[in-house]
Amino acid sequence: MIEFSRRNVILGGAALVGVTALMMKPGDKSGPRDAYFLDVQKALIATGIAQPTMVVDKARLNANIDTLKGFLPAGMNYRIVAKSLPSLGLIQHIRERTGTDRLMTFNLPMLLELSQAMPEANQLLGKPLPVVAAKHYFEQLPADYSGAADNVQWLVDTPERLAQYADLAEQVGRDLAINIELDVGLHRGGMVAGADLKTMLEAIKANPRLSFAGFMGYDPHIASLPTAMGWQARAMKGVRTGYAAALAQATEVFGADAMKGITRNAAGSPTYRTYQDTEIASEVSAGSCLVKPTHFDTALLEPHVPASFIATPVIKSMPVTHMPGLEFADGATKAWNPNASKTVFIYGGNWLADPVDPPGLAYNKTFGRSSNQEMLNGGPELEISPDEFVFLRPHQSEAVFLQFGDIAVYEDGAITERWPVFDYSA
């Protein structure tokens, strides 16, 4: 059973209503519908929404933003992870509430769109962009926004990629700010302190077209390690030790004064709370914790609350469950699992998500998943009619948010805004 603490979270009015429904895992006993979801359903119907829609609760979003800000130590900056919050309206709201101009960007379409919508923002690539894609950025960025390119930190992970970007700087006639990815224990690539890193740093210093922007060290593995026998603590110590060694090496090359303004990026939603000072990191990145999909139901993120839901209409609601070709077993199945008594078919389906309302709904593993009309089962207490809504919590935000068109923003009992999501097909 998933439980959500209300500690350190200040929510207004209806924002706290409905948490009990989210404490019930899929397949638990059915019960009455939660008032919170009935209110969201009423708002969707009043707006005329009748297709699968991603809903973001603005009060809960704001509470999560304030929770994140409250945990940041003095002097720690915050960088918005755009892939986890893939909507200009969503990102702009978070920028305004946090006061940050720092973004983490992950692909060419996102980089281009943000460079034009928010040219003043500082963008750090969250993964190395193939140098050909980086070249396309300079070719496709409208001349009116060419200044935005000066606010991009290009991530490199190997000496070979650094050489590619050095060549690119000459080709496009632009100075490039280079951020080096560190392997701080995730072992997904990146550099560690040593001869190769020193060679890269010296190559940046020697090239008048390149500048050293800083380091990025991502450590989500920390949250997955057990606390027993000190595993997590040792891994976190390893992160700090490895990062400190890289910083020391960069200081040797560039000098202490030059290091004062560099980016020392670390963390992610799962681990931002482990950075309780600015000795190593000067900024932390986070995104998913602000909308809290199910993959972020962790101990460190317990103070955050779910703020995003898939709402999808019921197409068919049936008082019994019949399995095609296996009708003879329906009675036995119901006796063994009373929660399989009734059936609903929803509009769409097969998303990376778990049903949360009505309580007790679960996928039928025998029938299988469907992207057209997904089958869900519930117990004898299940009461839901066609055109009412089933609500699901996404497992993640970065890909799932892109599947539903404009986000419906829920606030004070109504859908108050629609926030378009990124168009990666552009």
Closest residue by Cα to residue 243 from 222, 264, 263, 261: 264
The answer to whether residue 195 sits within a structural domain is yes
Residues 211, 134, single domain; the answer is: yes
Q: Alpha-carbon distance 85 to 401, whole Å?
A: 8
Q: Do 245 and 320 belong together in one domain? A: no
Query: Do 36 and 97 lie in a common domain?
Result: no
One domain, residues 102 and 239: yes
H-only helix segments in 213-263: 221-224, 231-254, 256-259
State the Cα–Cα distance between residues 285 and 67, nearest whole angstrom. 14
Judge contact between 270 and 301, C-beta under 8 A. Answer: yes
Instruction: For residue 340, give the CATH number of its domain.
Output: 2.40.37.20
pLDDT at 425: 54
Within a domain: residue 356? yes
Alpha-carbon distance of 259 to 370, in angstroms, equals 53
- State pLDDT tens for residues 363-415: 988 777 899 999 999 888 899 999 999 999 999 999 999 999 999 999 999 99
Do 414 and 384 share a domain, yes or no?
Answer: yes
Residues 47 and 83 in one domain: no
List, in sequence order, every beta strand (DSSP E) within 106-248.
122-125, 152-156, 176-182, 210-217
In single-letter form, the type of residue at position 367 comes to F
Whole-number Å distance between alpha carbons of 33 and 426:
40
Judge whether 183 lies within some domain.
yes
Considering the domain architecture, whether residues 350 and 250 belong to the same structural domain is answered as no
83 and 217 in a single domain? The answer is yes
296 falls within a domain = no
The vertex-25 CA angle with 228 and 94, nearest 5°, equals 80
Domain limit, last residue, from 250, 281, 312: 281
Q: What's 319's DSSP letter?
A: S
pTM of the model: 0.89
d(CA 271, CA 299): 10
Residue 363 maps to a domain: yes
Q: Are residues 119 and 249 in the same domain?
A: yes
| Residue after which a domain boundary falls, among 225, 247, 281 | 281
The three-class DSSP label of residue 287 is coil
Structural domain containing residue 91: 76-281
pLDDT in tens, 230-264: 888 888 899 999 999 999 999 999 999 999 999 99
Could you tell me if residue 294 is inside a domain?
Answer: no
Token pair of 49, please?
A: 């929404």
CATH for 180: 3.20.20.10
173 shares a domain with 207: yes
The total number of structural domains that make up the chain: 2
Q: Are residues 173 and 318 in the same domain?
A: no
Residues 232, 128 share a domain: yes
Residue 151 falls within a domain, yes or no? yes
Domain end among 281, 313, 333: 281
Is 225 exposed, middle or buried (CB count within 10 Å of its CB: 0-12, 13-18, 19+)? middle
pLDDT digits (tens, 9 = 90+) for 186-210: 888 999 999 999 999 999 999 999 9
pLDDT tens digit sequence for 10-61: 333 333 333 333 333 444 566 789 999 999 999 999 999 999 999 999 999 9
